[in-house]
A = this chain, B = another copy of it.
Amino acid sequence: MTPPPSFADVEAARGRIADWVRRTPLLSSPFLDEVAGRRVFVKPECLQHTGSFKFRGACSALSALDPDTRARGVIAFSSGNHAQGVAMAARMFGVPAVIVMPSDAPRLKIENTRRLGAEVVLYDRELQDRDEIGTRLAAERGLSLIRPFDDPRVIGGQGTVGMEIAEDAAALGIHDADVLVPCGGGGLSAGVALALEAMAPDLRLRTVEPAGFDDVARSLRAGEICRNDRLVGSVCDAIITPAPGVVPFPILLRCAGPGLVVSDAEALRAMAAAFLRLKIVVEPGGAVALAAALFRSAELEGDSVVVVASGGNVDPAVFARALETDPGNV
């Protein structure tokens, strides 16, 4: 049995991937500060390779494999961003990648994954069990399964986001802040939580989810894993998972404040705000943390808030829809 992930996994991941990942900055705008009523700092992981933080975890996992195992190839299942992250990491290492994707994933994500050189296997999100498909293909072909969040190497890689936040927050004099992270299975949130716990204990991790798919917020309240009733029906598709991952969840239970929830409409408005004020492209699921910073300020603590904009892989039509919303007085 693998021991639970710790800050040592985050530090080790950073050592392996530092030369491969982009160190993203913290962006800000006086207009966003005004709306939020506090200083807002946005970490644009949409600017990461493949357009999301998922490249960090994938790169961490692949770099931790022994070379012979890695050479046989890897397999992943993902609604899109993990897929691209694994495909890109495999491309960099020059090894084959098979990606199992839901057939209703955004067209752009499926195409990108294929163009990065991966073999894409589609499945029906409502009828088929992606875990079963992935496990079977892995066994058949001798591929290493790279899970999207239930893996200490992946959580360690995502945690490098938290190390960078802790370092930049110290440099900017941010001492009293919630750190808002879009949360699906919890890999990014858990990794960031481990980094903050070790490096910036005054910063508190808060998960953010779309309304109706708030499994993490409910699980944190209940003290045990609760599941979503359904898996489709939100524009924030990238962060919809059946339930918090069994590996990340104990970390979140120990470190995270109450989970935050925003509506799809608020996520779209936050995308428009990020377009207007930060000049970054954020996908709906990646914008829920900024939405919470802007539109849920009464539920936050501290004179500052740090927000992870976790990804930017959004179809043009959905982005155009977001631009038609009124982001409010930002």
Residues of A within 8 A of B (CB): 22, 25, 27, 30-31, 44, 46-47, 51, 91, 108, 112, 115-116, 272, 275-276, 278-282, 312-313, 316, 319-320, 323-324
Contact = CB atoms under 8 A, between A and B. Distances in A.
A30 B117 CA distance: 11
A319 B275 contact: yes
Nearest to A279: B312
- The 9 A-B pairs of least Cβ separation, nearest first, read A279-B312, A316-B323, A279-B281, A46-B279, A320-B320, A51-B279, A275-B281, A320-B323, A47-B279
Contacts of A44: 279
A275 to B, nearest CB: 6
9 contacts: A25-B25, A25-B47, A31-B115, A44-B279, A272-B316, A276-B316, A279-B280, A319-B323, A320-B323
A278 B324 contact: no
A47 B281 CA distance: 11
Contacts of A320: 320, 323-324
A25 B112 CA distance: 23
Contacts of A316: 272, 275-276, 323-324
Nearest to A31: B115
A117 B281 CA distance: 27
Q: Is the interface of A mostly helix, strand, loop or mixed?
A: helix
Contact of A280 (B30, B47, B112, B323): B47
A328 to B, nearest CB: 13
A47 B312 CA distance: 15
Contacts of A47: 25, 27, 278-280
A22 B282 CA distance: 20
A238 to B, nearest CB: 13
Nearest to A116: B30
Nearest to A316: B323
Among A108, A112, A278, A324, the one with the most B-chain Cβ atoms within 10 Å of its Cβ is A278
Given A25-B25, A323-B316, A323-B320, A108 B46 contact: no
Nearest to A23: B25
A49 to B, nearest CB: 8
A31 B84 CA distance: 13
Given A25-B47, A30-B116, 7 more contacts: A22-B27, A25-B25, A27-B47, A31-B112, A279-B282, A281-B281, A316-B324
A98 to B, nearest CB: 19
A292 to B, nearest CB: 21
A111 to B, nearest CB: 10
